[in-house]
């Protein structure tokens, strides 16, 4: 069965919004290998509407000389949205109803991982609903101070277990978590 995995750049204070404004000074070959490895394990991207629209404005205009452009433009995209009527950036499918049922069916199909990039609202929802299999965080040693945080508005506790961790350079930590029951008190 395929896994749904979320890969996010995140600051020490939990900000995931606009990483292009704070992420690049920490980028290294090791980080590129981590991100490239995640792409190699993926044949479908799962996106929320806002992330999809931001990517759709940028990636189709990038040349193949920019390494992730071919992947981003060619990979199957599944967009979770109740407001988007048409997906202009192909190949793409929109899911607007019975999201968990449709994602369960997608996970049952043959293929590689289904990855989420950005889309923190979608990540929180899938984590809450038990649909997210792994949360992969590249934690940057910076306090951004403003912007959307990964767990803004979390209404309930969600247990996680650390699957793996490593320092990948420039003080960035690569942490992989999986859902887990919250330990009894």
Domain of residue 158, CATH code: 3.40.430.10
Closest alpha carbon to 23 in 12, 38, 36, 37: 12
Q: For residue 185, is it within any domain? A: no
Q: Quote the pLDDT of residue 60.
A: 93
Asked whether 128 and 158 are in contact (CB, 8 A), the reply is: yes
Q: For residue 146, is it within any domain? A: yes
> What distance in Å separates the CA atoms of residue 5 and residue 74, rounded to the nearest whole number?
19
CA 85 to chain centre: 22
User: Is 0.75 topped by the overall pTM?
Assistant: yes
Closest alpha carbon to 15 in 112, 123, 148: 148
pLDDT tens for 60-88 read 999 998 888 999 999 999 999 999 989 88
37 DSSP 8-state letter: H
Q: For residue 75, is it within any domain? A: yes
Work out how many domains the chain is built from and give that number.
Answer: 1
Q: Which residue has the tokens 């990540």?
A: 123
Residues 6+ apart with CB under 8 A from 34: 138, 168, 174
Q: For residue 184, is it within any domain? A: no
Q: For residue 99, is it within any domain? A: yes
Q: For residue 21, is it within any domain? A: yes
Alpha-carbon distance values, 59 to 46, 73, 137 (Å) = 16, 7, 23
**Per-residue exposure over 155-175, b if at least 16 CB sit within 10 Å of its own CB, e if not:** eeebebeeeeeeebeeebebb
Asked whether 147 and 105 are in contact (CB, 8 A), the reply is: no
pLDDT tens for 126-174 read 999 999 999 999 999 999 999 999 988 767 888 999 999 999 988 999 9
Question: Which domain, by its residues, includes 167?
Answer: 4-179
Q: For residue 138, is it within any domain? A: yes
């Amino acid at each position: 069965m395929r896994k749904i995995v979320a890969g996010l750049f995140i600051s020490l204070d939990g900000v995931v919004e606009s990483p292009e404004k704070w992420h690049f000074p920490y980028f290294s070959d090791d980080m590129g290998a981590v991100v490239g490895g995640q792409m190699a394990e993926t044949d479908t991207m799962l996106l929320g509407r806002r992330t999809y629209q931001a990517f759709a404005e940028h990636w189709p205009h990038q040349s193949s000389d920019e390494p992730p452009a071919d992947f981003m433009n060619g990979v199957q995209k599944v967009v979770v949205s109740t407001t988007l009527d048409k997906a202009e950036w192909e190949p793409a499918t929109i899911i607007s109803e019975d999201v968990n049922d449709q994602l369960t069916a997608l996970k049952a199909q043959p293929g590689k991982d289904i990855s989420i990039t950005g889309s923190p609202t979608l990540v929180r929802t899938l984590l809450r609903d038990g649909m997210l299999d792994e949360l992969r965080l590249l934690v940057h040693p910076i306090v951004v101070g403003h912007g959307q945080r990964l767990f803004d508005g979390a209404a309930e506790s969600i247990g996680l277990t650390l699957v793996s961790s490593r320092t990948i350079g420039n003080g960035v930590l690569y942490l992989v978590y999986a859902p887990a029951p919250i330990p009894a008190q």
